[in-house]
Structure 1
Amino acid sequence: MNTLEPAKKEEAGQCARILGDGREFQKEQGFVQWTENYPNLDTVCEDIKAQKGYVLKVDEKLAGYMCIDFSGEPAYTDIKGAWRAQRAYAVVRRIAFSKEFIGIGLADIAFKLIEKVCLDNKVPYIRINTGFSNRRMQHILEKNGFVQCGVVVLQGGEKIAYDKLL
């Protein structure tokens, strides 16, 4: 059984390791989107404290980590392009999966569960971004119904902006 639930303080170390797996996976794919210093354990602890950190579990085993932020993203106000809606939205950040679970379709499962969390919170709109070189995430987003809306600048670099109306 697959579940998406708020991350607990005692899971922070495991979540940080999963982000490390994601960082390594990016390198294996030939690009760097996350630095050696970000995201890290402090990032996860801040997410958990702010009740934005979520874990994806497969048969009760921690398989993925992500941030689902219902407070918006200031950088998204300045987009080269246009969002498809101007209303409350959830931002999905820092999505990564344990290397033990790579290749079994967890990203698709995660996005379905993210959508449920958003709808349960009465926010039927998601925004997300990814790097230009992260072709795998671009494919996953488009396969899951996200639409490319333009370009935003985050952490000093341009990223492709996507949204999805639920």
Structure 2
Amino acid sequence: MQPLELARMDELNRCYEIIEAGKRFQREQGFVQWTDDYPNVDTIRDDIERKNGYVVKFGDKIAAYMCIDFEGEPAYDHIRGGWHTIKPYAVVHRMAFDASFRGTGLTKCVFLLIEDLCRSRGVKSIRVDTDFSNGRMQHILEKNGFLKCGTIVFQGEGRLAYDKAVAG
């Protein structure tokens, strides 16, 4: 596995294929966090243009796509509960994996890479939100040291909010 890389515009279609596969996987798991029209290809294009779109590769194959935003998330300013960490923070949105890498332990490695990226930028915390029905992501977050903080409203929907302090 290689370090996180900024996604390139020539990788847009592959990144979006991974997002679409993530949508299908959610439905197979019995919930819908990502709708038919979100995230869409324009969302991913915007991530890449803003230099917030990241990929993880094995060789030349993209194994995962995610948005990592260091500008904060306005929805996180209003939380029912309380954050355990302070600003500045990185926000992780739209994390999805190529189906052939699911169940391989890659998620843990990806979160470690995100922590490395945060340390390199002097950012001491990571925040994430997920749907109430996305038990799989809740389990992944808790298994990777994230703490439940409360609820926020993101794009008109209530979401569970998590954070994690980045050590060192």
Q: TM (normalized to structure 2)? A: 0.96
Equivalences for residues 1-166 of structure 1 within 5 A: 1-166=1-166
Moved more, 99-108 or 60-69: 99-108
SS of equivalent residue, structure 1 residue 16: helix
Query: In structure 2, the residue corresponding to 1:51 is in which secondary structure?
Result: coil
Q: 1:37-58 CA deviation, whole Å, 9 max, x = no partner?
A: 1111111110011000000112
CA RMSD of aligned residues (A): 0.9
- Percent identical: 53
SS of the equivalent of 1:122 reads coil
**1:59 Cα deviation (Å)?**
2.7
1:20-50 deviations in Å (ceiling 9; x for gaps): 0110110011000000111111111100110
Cα deviation code 1:41-95 (max 9, x no counterpart): 1111100110000001123310110000000000101000000133200000000
- Equivalent-residue separation in structure 2 for 1:72 and 1:87 (angstroms): 8
What runs of 5+ residues in structure 2 fail to find an aligned partner?
Answer: none
Aligned residues: 166
Quick check: 1:129–1:159 contact (8 Å CA) kept in 2?
yes
**Residue 2 of structure 1, CA deviation:** 3.4
Q: SS at the partner of 2:36? A: coil
Question: Given residue 143 of structure 1, which amino acid in structure 2 is its aligned partner?
Answer: K
SS in 2 for 1:55: strand
SS of the residue 1:56 aligns to: strand
Residue 134 of structure 1 and its aligned partner are, at CA, apart by 0.5
Q: Contact (CA 8 Å) 2:127, 2:162: kept in 1 or not?
A: yes
Contact 2:4 2:113 in 1 (8 A): yes
CA distance in 1, matches of 2:20, 2:3: 21
The list of structure 1 runs, each at least 4 consecutive aligned residues, that deviate by more than 4 angstroms after superposition, is: none
TM-score of the aligned structures, taking structure 1 as reference length = 0.97
